Amino acid sequence: MSMNLRDPLVRRTTLSGRARRSVRLAIVFGFLCVAGATWCGAASATGTAVWRMKIDGPINPAVADFIGSTIEQAGDANAAMLVIELDTPGGLLNSTKTIVKDILAAPLPVAVYVAPAGAGATSAGVFITLSAHVAAMAPGTTIGAAHPVSGQGGDIEGDMRKKVENYAVSFVESIAGQRGRNVEWAEKAVRESVSVTAREAAELGVVDFVADDLTDLIEKADGRTVEVAGEKVKIDLSKARVEGAGAVVVDVEMSFRQKVLNVITDPNIAYLLMMAGMLGLYMEFSHPGAVFPGVVGTICLLLALLAAQVLPINLTGGLLILLG
């Protein structure tokens, strides 16, 4: 039986050069979203510097990866201390747990500084702040309201509400207890969503002190004794200071990979990716052999699953490589 090359179904199975290039570009774009080297622009920092990173927004897998990688790099560079400047409305519990574990196991002192004025450590921010070796807040900031909610921001109903709430309480109590902070307040922050100002937090023992700015934070943190990697360590920031010029501060930013991940983990973007993925697969099944809609749809679907924390970063990158 001879094959009719004019048959439209047969013609669709043979991609033009332009279509093949488009598919390759789509695959490369997807791969760049989850792969690539992590570069933070601070490899030259030494123990004579204080590293600072800023978190301004929801806590998600990209933020967790950013904090984890920066802690590792700061430790390798023998930085004097890492300061996490925090302003967050909350975020995902799994990402919060990852961040807390990284801070508790950090090889160097980690300070969480709720700043600038008007900022807040809400929900997930409470857990992260309490886990720090040094917890500080700027004047005009707040902390609290850590009651768990659903992924859509609503109340959790039924037995699951009690399970999640009890787990969150035990989690925050263990963190506060390990750092010697106010365990009773930590429980109320979860069960009753209590929230306090910076001054009140310092008086209640929720944070260590109120700092006007980064320079004030460094001065007040210097000489404090904290537990780092299971050992009592006295924070020595004397080498990080330059006489007459203050402390040497190295600002660390997200890598390109982390910035892309931070964008796609936005709930609105993740929803659009899911819809685009489903539409692409529908077009592929409706018109077998088109290829391009199927490839793009699969990439969008993988990124949407990554954003929803269904797939880990490494596995998603591996699947995209196989797709290519």
- List pLDDT tens digits, range 120-156: 999 999 999 999 999 999 999 999 999 987 665 566 7
Do residues 151 and 287 share a domain? no
Task: Give yes or no for residue 317 having a pLDDT over 60.
Answer: no
Do residues 204 and 282 share a domain? no
Do residues 62 and 168 share a domain? yes
* Residue that wins the pLDDT comparison between 154 and 94: 94
Question: Could you tell me the CA-to-CA distances from 226 to 112, 124, 206 in Å, in that order?
Answer: 14, 23, 16
Q: How many CB atoms lie within 10 A of CB 56?
A: 11
Q: Is 11 contained in some domain?
A: no
Task: Give yes or no for residue 108 having a pLDDT over 90.
Answer: yes
Do residues 220 and 287 share a domain? no
For 97, residues 6+ apart whose C-beta sits below 8 A from its C-beta are: 171
Q: Give the CATH number of the domain where residue 186 resides.
A: 3.90.226.10
Q: Is 63 contained in some domain?
A: yes
- 69 counts as catalytic: no
High-pLDDT (> 70) share of the chain, %: 76
- List pLDDT tens digits, range 171-229: 999 999 999 999 999 999 999 999 999 999 999 999 999 999 999 999 999 999 999 98
* Residue that wins the pLDDT comparison between 18 and 83: 83
Confidence grade of residue 12 (pLDDT, cut at 50, 70, 90): very low
Number of domains in the chain: 2
- Give me the mean pLDDT over the 105-126 stretch: 97
Do residues 125 and 264 share a domain? no
The predicted structure's pLDDT at residue 310: 52
Q: Is 164 contained in some domain?
A: yes
Do residues 264 and 247 share a domain? no
Could you tell me the two tokens for 159?
């037995």
For 191, residues 6+ apart whose C-beta sits below 8 A from its C-beta are: 147, 165, 169
Do residues 179 and 86 share a domain? yes
DSSP one-letter code for 80: S
Do residues 175 and 293 share a domain? no
Confidence grade of residue 23 (pLDDT, cut at 50, 70, 90): very low
* Residue that wins the pLDDT comparison between 105 and 307: 105
Q: Is 307 contained in some domain?
A: yes
**Domain edge (last residue) among 215, 238, 254:** 254
Do residues 58 and 199 share a domain? yes
- List pLDDT tens digits, range 274-314: 888 888 888 888 888 777 888 888 888 877 777 665 545 55
Do residues 228 and 265 share a domain? no
Cis check for the bond before 109: say yes or no (omega within 30 of 0).
Answer: no
Domain extent for 291 = 17-36+259-323
- 123 counts as catalytic: yes
Q: Is 8 contained in some domain?
A: no
Do residues 109 and 26 share a domain? no
Do residues 153 and 204 share a domain? yes
Catalytic residue among 95, 123, 195, 255: 123
The predicted structure's pLDDT at residue 210: 98
* Residue that wins the pLDDT comparison between 255 and 277: 255
**Domain edge (last residue) among 221, 236, 254:** 254
Q: Is 235 contained in some domain?
A: yes
Q: Is 57 contained in some domain?
A: yes
Contact 113, 211 (CB under 8 A): yes
Q: Is 41 contained in some domain?
A: no
Catalytic residue among 101, 150, 162, 163: 163
Average pLDDT, the chain: 82
First to last CA, the chain: 33
**Domain edge (last residue) among 254, 273, 307:** 254
